[in-house]
Amino acid sequence: MIFSDFAKAVSQLSDRRFRRVLWLGLGLTVILLVAITTLFVGLIEWFVPDESFIPLIGEISWAGDFLSGAAILLMLILSIFLMVPVASAFTGLFLEDIAEAVEDKHYPNLPTAPRTPFYEAFRDSVNFFGVLIAVNLVALMLAIPLGPIAPMMFWAVNGYLLGREYFQMVAMRREGRKGATALRRKHWWRVWMAGTLMAIPLTVPLINLLIPILGVATFTHQYHRLAGSSAR
């Protein structure tokens, strides 16, 4: 049933609302990463003078430019790992647009769900972003010691996080926070497996940028299936 939910999500990628959230999420992600890089480089140029004196070498005029270039290169490398968590956090802000598109097509007989206040959606997205960043930084540091089992750890951990947060946010629209938590805990194994299915493509460049949207759509289907909603 998990694969069926995922297949339905993939089949709806051409939906106008899906495309809108995709481009909004990617645009905001790129803007944030560029802003962080600009701030980082600006701080380096502020603290490192154009000319520096190094004992036994003398004055050098390229220290600031070298460190600025190194900072840009570092941020480009880090962006590979930060792109997905940042995109996931921004997608959380537009989660209801995706969930509504899924429900309009597959569950048209359901009453319209009340929209989550922006403050709550923003808070949940920021919390989700912080957890994703922290966990993935730890996973990155453990990648070399763990060797060949590192990808499996990445899939298992991110699968748990994606499943937990996306199912919770989708279910909250109709169950409330307590009801969503109770339903998620009751079906925690299924939620985790669905999250792992989302996490595996995270290791594939470009495709991984679609995962936040596919994740929301997949968990919308899973929620309605577990809650007993009738699909068209």
122 occurs within a structural domain:
yes
65 occurs within a structural domain:
no
Q: Is 0.85 topped by the overall pTM?
A: no
Percent of the chain clearing pLDDT 70 (strictly above): 75
Q: What are phi and psi of 78, to 5 degrees?
A: -65, -30
Chain center to CA of 145: 25
**Count: domains in the chain:** 1
Token code pair at residue 42: 């600006």
Neighbours of 198 (CB within 10 A): 27
101 occurs within a structural domain:
yes
Report d(CA 88, CA 211) in Å as an integer: 8
Report d(CA 231, CA 4) in Å as an integer: 13
Predicted confidence at residue 189, as pLDDT, reads 92
210 occurs within a structural domain:
yes
209 occurs within a structural domain:
yes
User: Is residue 125 within 8 Å of 90, Cβ to Cβ?
Assistant: yes
145 occurs within a structural domain:
yes
Q: State the amino acid at position 105 in one-letter form.
A: K
Report d(CA 26, CA 7) in Å as an integer: 23
Residues of the domain holding 11: 2-27+81-227
131 occurs within a structural domain:
yes
Q: How confident is the model at residue 76 (pLDDT cuts 50, 70, 90)?
A: low
Neighbours of 133 (CB within 10 A): 15
Q: How confident is the model at residue 60 (pLDDT cuts 50, 70, 90)?
A: very low
Q: What is the mean pLDDT of residues 181-185?
A: 93
Predicted confidence at residue 57, as pLDDT, reads 42
Predicted confidence at residue 222, as pLDDT, reads 94
Question: In which residue are the tokens 């929209």 written?
Answer: 115
Token code pair at residue 78: 């880090």
Q: State the amino acid at position 112 in one-letter form.
A: T
User: Is residue 154 within 8 Å of 199, Cβ to Cβ?
Assistant: yes
Report d(CA 210, CA 204) in Å as an integer: 10
